[in-house]
């Protein structure tokens, strides 16, 4: 990546659309601008209103551009939704060059070989992320370039998505006057912003609890082994509160945010507060234990669904050491305790911390995806062999994503 090059990420979420603009400096990426606008045309990763979504993209991007003092033309776009699926696969090729030394072209060929899987006509491969390579039976190789051998194998994590869903998101981006530099499955972006290499090595579960979805990424031995999305997020808590306390969604959201602190802890001192009635004309007294009895079962359900999704896809002997929770849902303080009970693992809250610049603004869990897009987008963190290959527009080098525009 050239020094001073501008990179932008666009996270079009269920509740908010967020644009992040960063620039590559001597110490890595630095954030120059962040812009946010409410999302009213998206539901659980799927476009429900094209015009509203275009408007949100334009508004968020303009704010970020104004803050950064630069104009952006290309963006890395986050995609999510129940249509996203993942699997692990293996590719094998013969090393054919002189001296049987592995070169970049061999790595590209073997990753391409791993992409030969049955993909339904209405789906597309979004990522083929190398986890590790094997040369002549020696496994666990992270960067095979320059090594000698006859048979090169790669284990990859393949992510696919519904082409129609993805093309509708990209259509909105295009109509907002932006070109798509690449698409990134959102939990992978969130992981890039919040997880440390050591955590990925010892085995970590990332849960990004958004408004409409909970995005999952599981890492082990330094690479991603599972990624998925479940169609429940923080908004379902708000719905439950609105129904349970017979109030509006807006008042329920307010209650969740104001009294959410310590909500998950049964030892928290009892509080009493006033909640507006549906017509807004009067208020009703509610206790924190009433609120807890509404919210806790839902939070437990989200974690149990996430755990079931992970357990189903994980090898029995897979060791996982930690859970990291991010996304706006991570603000529900005390949520770590509930997650720790369900997963039986230590839990921490993930904030975007692996990047410099505007730290006060972006060090919030709801920005993990947007920040991660500028980190993961150009670097493709699971593809070390593609790093620093320079020459020509970077986007052309990254064969691990497919864009509907080509």
Ligand X SMILES: Nc1ncnc2c1ncn2[C@@H]1O[C@H](COP(=O)(O)OP(=O)(O)OP(=O)(O)O)[C@@H](O)[C@H]1O
Q: Which residues bind Mg ion (CB under 5 A)?
A: 13, 210, 369
The site string for ligand X over 298-317 (x = CB under 6 A, - otherwise) reads: --------------------
282 Cβ contact partners less than 8 Å away, ≥ 6 residues apart: 276
Mask 348-377, x = binds ligand X (CB under 6 A)?
------------------x-----------
Q: Is 83 in the site for ligand X (CB under 6 A)?
A: no
Instruction: Tell me which of Mg ion, ligand X, none is bound by residue 15, counting a contact when its beta carbon lies within the kind-specific cut-off of 5 to 8 angstroms.
Output: ligand X
What does each C-alpha distance from 145 to 103, 107, 125 come to in angstroms? Answer: 5, 8, 25
Q: Among candidates 206, 213, 203, which has minimal Cα distance to 192?
A: 206
16 interacts with, out of Mg ion, ligand X, none, CB within 5 to 8 A per kind:
ligand X
194 lines the binding site for ligand X (CB under 6 A)? no
- The piece of 9-17, 110-118, 266-274, 338-346 that touches ligand X (CB under 6 A) is 9-17
Nearer to ligand X, 37 or 178 (CB): 37
Question: For helices 249-259 and 288-313, what crossing angle results, to 10°?
Answer: 90
CB nearer to ligand X: give 210 or 380.
Answer: 210
Of the two residues 227 and 238, which places its CB atom closer to ligand X in the complex?
Answer: 238
Separation of alpha carbons 129 and 138, rounded Å: 20
- Decide if 287 contacts 270 (C-beta within 8 A): yes
Closest CA to 296 of 344, 342, 227, 247: 342
Measured from the CB atom, the residue of 55 and 256 that comes closer to ligand X is 256
Least distance between Mg ion and beta carbon 28 (Å): 24
Is residue 332 involved in binding ligand X (CB under 6 A)?
Answer: yes
- Residue 233 interface partner, choices ligand X, Mg ion, none, CB cut-off 5-8 Å depending on type: ligand X
Which among 397, 216, 224 has a CA at the least distance from the CA of 323?
Answer: 216
For residues 79 and 228, give the distance between their C-alpha atoms in angstroms, rounded to a whole number.
12
Smallest separation (angstroms) from ligand X to the CB of 38: 9
Question: Can residue 233 be called a binding residue for ligand X (CB under 6 A)?
Answer: yes
Q: How far is the CB of 64 from ligand X (least distance, A)?
A: 16
Number of residues that bind ligand X (CB under 6 A): 24
Q: Give the nearest distance from C-beta 325 to ligand X in angstroms.
A: 11
- Can you give the binding site for ligand X, defined by CB under 6 A? 13-16, 39, 45, 210-213, 233-235, 238, 253, 256-257, 260, 327-329, 331-332, 366
């Amino acid at each position: 990546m050239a020094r001073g090059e501008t990179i932008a990420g666009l996270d079009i979420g269920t509740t908010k659309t967020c644009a992040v603009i960063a620039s590559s400096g001597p110490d890595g990426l630095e954030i120059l601008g962040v812009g946010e606008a409410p999302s009213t045309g998206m539901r659980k990763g799927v476009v429900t209103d094209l015009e509203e979504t275009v408007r949100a993209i334009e508004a968020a991007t303009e704010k970020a551009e104004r803050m950064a003092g630069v104009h952006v033309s290309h963006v890395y776009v986050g995609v999510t939704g129940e249509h996203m699926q993942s699997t692990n696969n293996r590719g094998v090729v013969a090393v054919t060059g002189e001296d049987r030394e592995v070169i970049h072209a061999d790595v590209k060929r073997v990753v391409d070989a791993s992409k030969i899987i049955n993909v339904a006509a209405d789906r597309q491969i979004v990522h083929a992320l190398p986890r590790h390579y094997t040369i002549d039976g020696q496994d666990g190789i992270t960067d095979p370039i320059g090594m000698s051998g006859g048979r090169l194998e790669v284990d990859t994590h393949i992510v696919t998505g519904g082409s129609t869903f993805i093309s509708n998101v990209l259509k909105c981006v295009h109509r907002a006057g932006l070109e798509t530099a690449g698409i990134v499955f959102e939990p992978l972006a969130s992981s890039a912003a919040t997880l440390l290499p050591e955590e990925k090595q010892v085995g970590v579960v990332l849960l990004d609890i958004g408004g409409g979805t909970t995005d999952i990424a599981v890492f082990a031995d330094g690479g991603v082994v599972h990624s998925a999305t479940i169609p429940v997020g923080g908004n379902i808590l708000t719905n439950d509160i609105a129904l349970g306390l017979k109030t509006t969604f807006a008042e329920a959201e307010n209650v969740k945010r104001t009294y959410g602190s310590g909500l998950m802890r049964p030892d928290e001192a009892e509080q009493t507060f006033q909640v507006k009635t549906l017509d807004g004309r009067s208020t009703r007294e509610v206790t924190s234990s009433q609120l807890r009895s509404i919210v806790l079962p839902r939070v437990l359900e989200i974690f149990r669904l996430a755990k079931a999704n992970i357990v189903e896809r994980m090898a029995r002997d897979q060791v996982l050491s930690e859970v990291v929770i991010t996304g706006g849902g991570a603000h529900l303080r005390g949520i770590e305790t509930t997650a720790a009970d369900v997963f039986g693992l230590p839990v921490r809250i993930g904030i975007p911390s692996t990047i410099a610049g505007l730290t006060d603004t972006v060090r919030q869990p709801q920005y993990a995806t947007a920040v991660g897009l500028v980190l993961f987008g150009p670097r493709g963190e699971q593809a070390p062999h593609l790093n620093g290959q320079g020459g020509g527009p970077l986007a052309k080098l990254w064969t691990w994503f497919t864009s509907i525009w080509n």
